[in-house]
């Protein structure tokens, strides 16, 4: 029972490069989320997908795009990475009508 | 938008003592208040939550209280143990059924043996 799996766990990018962070859940949850965690800032919502086929902006969406590929997978894309996007990124999922979010172990991204 | 303030940022206690972490929120429409525990190198994990129609909730050594009038809620941990050492986050949401959470900045709890 893996829960929420994120890949990769660590990544270093150069400014201007692009990459996609992958997230998959095996709990048959309808809703999925991307948060970023910066030192002293707590977690902030980037984008979420209430159900397959829908996506909505969160608190800090600028510089990111998302794709809800199917019910299991929700990816986060950085088209042109900037040093300000250095952060730890967490994917989460929840069951429709339930508030509890289940988080993955995170992707530590450094943009140099 | 919602703003969640959390205090203290660090808390050191002796094993067996109690620990209290406090949060305030700004949006009176918020109605769901979870607490998450994050261990080093891991994602946050829900430990307890409370809804706006309840004033207090307990689960063994942990409890959460909510004062809607004052817009603040607190986490209480009794009989602390070294394995309680972690970063604790409070959060608030007004989107029932979805985990679109606004988090506090976290409290690092250190429990010394």
Dump pLDDT digits (tens) for A3-31: 999 999 999 999 999 999 999 999 999 99
Report the alpha-carbon distance of residue B92 to residue B51 in Å, rounded: 10
Mutation for A interface: B1, B33, B46, B98, most A CBs within 10 A:
B98
User: C-alpha angle with apex A27: A24 to A33, nearest 5 degrees?
Assistant: 50
Report the alpha-carbon distance of residue B33 to residue B6 in Å, rounded: 13
Per residue in A36-80, pLDDT tens? Answer: 999 888 899 999 999 998 999 999 999 999 999 899 999 999 999
Per residue in B54-68, pLDDT tens? Answer: 899 999 999 999 999
**Whole-number pLDDT of residue A1:** 63
Distances B11 to A25, A27, B38 between C-alpha atoms, Å: 34, 35, 15
Residue A74: closest CA among A6, A2, A19, A1: A6
From the list A41, A50, A105, which residue is nearest B98 (CB)? A50
Instruction: Report which DSSP code applies to B82.
Output: G
Determine how β-strand B72-77 pairs with β-strand B62-67: antiparallel
Minimum Cα–Cα distance from B46: chain A residue = A100
Residue B68 in tokens = 């809607």
Per residue in B11-60, pLDDT tens? Answer: 999 999 999 999 999 999 999 999 999 999 999 999 999 998 889 999 99
Residue B98's pLDDT band, with cuts at 50, 70 and 90, is confident
């Amino acid at each position: 029972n893996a829960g929420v799996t994120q890949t990769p766990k660590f990544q270093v990018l150069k400014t201007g490069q692009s990459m996609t962070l992958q997230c998959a859940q095996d709990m048959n949850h309808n809703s999925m989320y991307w948060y970023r965690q910066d030192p002293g800032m707590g977690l902030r919502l980037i984008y979420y997908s209430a159900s397959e086929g829908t996506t909505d902006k969160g608190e800090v969406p600028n510089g990111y795009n998302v794709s809800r590929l199917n019910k299991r997978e929700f990816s986060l894309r950085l088209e042109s990475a900037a040093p300000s996007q250095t952060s730890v990124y967490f994917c989460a999922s929840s069951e429709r009508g339930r508030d509890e979010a289940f988080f993955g172990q995170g992707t530590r991204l450094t943009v140099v | 938008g919602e703003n969640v303030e959390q205090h203290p940022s660090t808390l050191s206690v002796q094993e067996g003592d109690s620990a209290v972490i406090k949060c305030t929120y700004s949006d009176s429409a918020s109605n769901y208040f979870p607490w998450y525990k994050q261990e080093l190198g891991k994602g946050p994990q829900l430990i307890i939550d409370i809804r706006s129609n309840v004033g207090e909730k307990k689960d063994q050594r942990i409890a959460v209280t909510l004062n809607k009038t004052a817009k603040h809620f607190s986490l209480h941990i009794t009989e602390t143990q070294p394995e309680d050492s972690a970063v604790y986050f409070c959060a608030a949401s007004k989107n029932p059924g979805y985990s679109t959470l606004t988090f506090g900045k976290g409290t690092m709890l250190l429990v010394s043996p």
